[in-house]
């Protein structure tokens, strides 16, 4: 059963813009992205929208819907009253390119700062080995689709542009944690998370976890354990002494720290 949906959409570019009111016919079972596509096809041919898969997997269609960071392709119209006006605005934390499209290159710059996975030499038989439990532990973190909704909502950079150089954000704390928990990675991810990543600026508000469309428990499973690991490195006198005299340390899980 179709009905006329009222939409309020931000339109503009780097020089400025504002909200405009529109009305478009929608059908049962549709999502916000469907409504915007129909509006684009019938009324606003030049409306800029970034999207790709329409299946919640590419992470392209991130926007703010009624003020909440969400994927447009995964937000059902049935979540709203048919009489309600749905407001769609671009991600606030990143610079506008046009309409609903923002420049998310901040995230790619932060990704470039992250040294890639660096395993030690192979065993004598040419293989590398790790425990199944270590394989499973990182699995949740690899579900990330890089939608950057967590980056958008985090107040450390959302409200403080000047923090951006010093803060890599929840998506990358996830990556720090994944690699620090990997038994075959040889980089010192704890020092990197503290110094280059600015994990100390995170005050565990958990907003990132609330908006993650992949339901990754970013704060409890990645950020808090990573903060604890950083604190171990910085404040445990035995760990400090071991690092000074070159002894390999065991972390909380008993694995060898290379
Ligand atoms: Fe998106 Fe979740 Fe990945 Fe953040 S952690 S970029 S919210 S999928
Ligand atoms: Fe930001 Fe998430 Fe920490 S929202 S403050 S990174 S818990
Ligand atoms: Fe790919 Fe929405 S279009 S996640």
The residue whose CA has the least distance to atom 3 of ligand 1 is 144
Is there a single domain that holds both residue 89 and residue 109? no
| pLDDT at site 115 | 93
Q: Do residues 74 and 201 share a domain?
A: no
**Count of structural domains within the chain:** 2
Residues 34 and 113 in one domain: no
- Gap between the Cα atoms of 218 and 140, Å rounded: 9
> Are residue 240 and residue 187 in the same domain, yes or no?
yes
pLDDT digits (tens, 9 = 90+) for 229-252: 998 876 666 665 665 555 544 343
Q: Give the predicted TM-score (pTM) of the model.
A: 0.90
One domain, residues 95 and 114: no
Tokens of 79: 């979540």
- Span 124-178, pLDDT tens digits: 999 999 999 999 999 999 999 999 999 999 999 999 999 999 999 999 999 999 9
> Which CATH number is 226's domain given?
1.10.1060.10
Alpha carbon separation from 135 to 104, 123, 131, 215 (Å, rounded): 30, 18, 7, 19
Which of 102, 136, 157 is where one domain is finished? 102
Range of the domain at 84: 3-102
Structure tokens at 41: 């096809």
Rg (CA), the chain: 22
User: Of 102, 124, 148, which closes a domain?
Assistant: 102
CA gap 228, 182 in Å, rounded:
16
- Is the CB of residue 173 less than 8 Å from the CB of residue 199? yes
Do 135 and 248 have their domain in common?
A: yes
CB 247 near ligand 3, within 6 Å: no
pLDDT digits (tens, 9 = 90+) for 61-87: 999 999 999 999 999 999 999 999 999
| % of the chain at pLDDT higher than 70 | 90
For atom 1 of ligand 2, the residue with the nearest CA is 154
**Could you tell me the CATH number of the domain that includes residue 59?**
3.10.20.30
**Please, are residues 89 and 32 in contact by the beta-carbon 8 Å criterion?**
no
């Amino acid at each position: 059963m179709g009905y006329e949906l009222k939409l309020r959409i931000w339109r503009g570019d780097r020089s400025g813009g504002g909200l405009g009111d529109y009305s478009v016919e929608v059908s049962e079972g549709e999502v916000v992205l469907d409504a915007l596509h129909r509006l684009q096809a019938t009324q606003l041919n030049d409306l800029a929208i970034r999207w790709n898969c329409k299946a919640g997997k590419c992470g392209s269609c991130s926007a703010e819907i009624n003020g909440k960071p969400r994927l447009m392709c995964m937000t059902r119209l049935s979540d709203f009253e048919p009489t309600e006006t749905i407001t769609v605005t671009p991600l606030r934390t990143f610079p506008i390119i046009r309409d609903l499209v923002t420049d998310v290159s901040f995230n790619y710059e932060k990704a470039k700062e992250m040294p890639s996975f660096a395993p030690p030499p192979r065993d004598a038989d040419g293989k590398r080995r790790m425990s199944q439990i270590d394989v499973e532990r990182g699995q949740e973190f690899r579900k990330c689709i890089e939608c950057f909704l967590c980056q958008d909502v985090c107040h450390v950079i959302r409200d403080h542009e000047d923090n951006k150089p010093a803060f890599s954000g929840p998506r990358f704390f996830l990556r720090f944690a994944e690699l620090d928990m990997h038994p075959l990675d040889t980089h010192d991810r704890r020092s990197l998370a503290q110094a280059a990543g600015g994990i100390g600026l995170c005050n565990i508000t958990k907003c990132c976890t609330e908006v993650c469309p992949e339901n990754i428990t970013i704060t409890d499973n990645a950020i808090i354990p990573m903060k604890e690991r950083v604190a171990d490195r910085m404040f445990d006198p035995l760990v400090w002494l071991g690092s000074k005299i070159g002894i390999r340390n065991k972390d909380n899980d008993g694995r060898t720290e290379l």
